Amino acid sequence: MSTRREFITLLGGAATTWPLAGHAQQPKSPTIGYLGVSTASSWRDWTAAFVRRLDELGWTEGRTVAIEYRWAEGRVERSAEIVAEFVHRKVDVIVTGATAVPAAKRATSTIPIVFALASDPLGGGLVTSLARPGGNVTGMSVQQPDAAGKRIELLRELIPGFRRFAVLSNPGYAGSVEEIREVEAAAHAFGLEVNRLEIRRAEDIVPTFEQLRGGAQALYVCTDALANANRHRINILALGARLPTMLGLREYVDPAGLMSYGPRIPDLFRRTADYVDKILRGAKPGDLPVEQPTKFEFVINLTVAKALGLEVPAMFLARADEVIE
């Protein structure tokens, strides 16, 4: 009788331990290190697009995938610190913007890196080829060779007697350096004068605007993490100086920018999620070609135009993808 009781006890104990053992052997969910090179608020809609697409692909945050969010707030040195943390924690993939990629490449040659947006990934040295990036880096490009020319054409159409403008850029970002070259080439072709203004940190913005008094008829803002993190301040200062602004992204227009011409960034973040999905399922980043945007949108803020005393022709408005009133 005692032998039978011992057998039943042993069987019951095995029944309770087997499920626990099976649970312990389940694979750990992968972790994405999400490094926003700007601020959480300025990337909010883009981050939401990325997370939604991941969920559609079967990667539900908190269940099948973990996402560690960090924000560099436009500071390159902060990006380097965050990358070092991600490498130490051995995340499975790093998602970021172009300005953080050099630091990420220095920190790891094995963890896959996917940039959600880059102005000039080839010229900036992020990849050696757009078709076959090689190494551990790939992502999405916002580059269009004639985008700068199209933006300047829009300024020429809207501003009467347009002859000279200022361009604001961060020379510490390779993408801005390339964009400046395109802006100056287009300005030369149109016979326009360009005043180059440089900012390397947020503290440079206000003093730089003091150089704008007199002369410039508009302000062209190059796209980068520093400008993104401080876009509201830049727009308000430009409006105060009665300078129409030409911006690279639709998100830069709210609340006080005049107009933008550029790619749809939420679409690029959705495609970034597609790449992360492929990598988590075994693809090598070096085999995934850098993708370029297929749709560009023109946005104009009529409220700002009226505040600047600009008359916007009906035919000009008709070409806009979005009119903010």
Q: DSSP states of 241-309 as a string?
A: TT--EEESSGGGTTTT--EEEEE-HHHHHHHHHHHHHHHHTT--GGGSPPB--S-EEEEEEHHHHHHTT
- Which backbone phi and psi does 283 adopt, to 5 degrees? -70, 150
Element (H, E) at 313: none
| pLDDT for position 26 | 58
| pLDDT for position 57 | 98
C-beta of residue 267 within 8 angstroms of C-beta of residue 141? no
| pLDDT for position 8 | 42
The pLDDT tens digits along the chain (325 residues) read: 444 444 344 444 444 444 444 444 556 899 999 999 999 999 999 999 999 999 999 999 999 999 999 999 999 899 999 999 999 999 999 999 999 999 999 999 999 999 999 988 988 889 999 999 999 999 999 876 679 999 999 999 999 999 999 999 999 888 888 899 999 999 999 999 999 999 999 999 999 998 876 789 999 999 989 999 999 999 999 999 999 999 999 999 988 999 999 999 999 999 999 999 999 999 999 999 999 988 899 999 999 999 999 999 999 999 999 999 9
| pLDDT for position 173 | 87
| pLDDT for position 18 | 42
Question: Residue 199, CB half-sphere, CA atoms under 13 Å: how many?
Answer: 29
The stretches of the chain forming alpha helices (DSSP H) are: 2-24, 44-56, 76-89, 101-107, 147-158, 174-190, 205-209, 225-229, 231-240, 265-280, 302-307, 314-318
CATH numbers and ranges of domains, the chain = 31-142+264-287 (3.40.50.2300), 147-263+296-324 (3.40.50.2300)
pTM attached to this predicted model:
0.83
| pLDDT for position 1 | 46
C-beta of residue 267 within 8 angstroms of C-beta of residue 289? no
Which DSSP state fits 170?
A: -
Burial of 109 (0-12, 13-18, 19+ CB in 10 A): exposed
Amino acid code (one letter) for 110: T
Q: How is residue 239 written in tokens?
A: 């409006």
Q: How is residue 236 written in tokens?
A: 């308000």
Amino acid code (one letter) for 83: V
- Name 139's Cβ contacts closer than 8 Å, sequence gap at least 6: 113, 114, 115, 116, 117, 118, 121, 126, 272, 275, 290, 291
Which DSSP state fits 27?
A: P
| pLDDT for position 39 | 94
What are the CA-CA distances from residue 130 to residues 122, 134, 243, 279, 291 (Å)?
Answer: 7, 9, 37, 17, 8
Phi-psi region of 152 (alpha: psi -120 to 50; beta: other; left: phi over 0): alpha
Cross-strand bridge partners of residue 34: 69, 95
Q: How is residue 275 written in tokens?
A: 């790449």
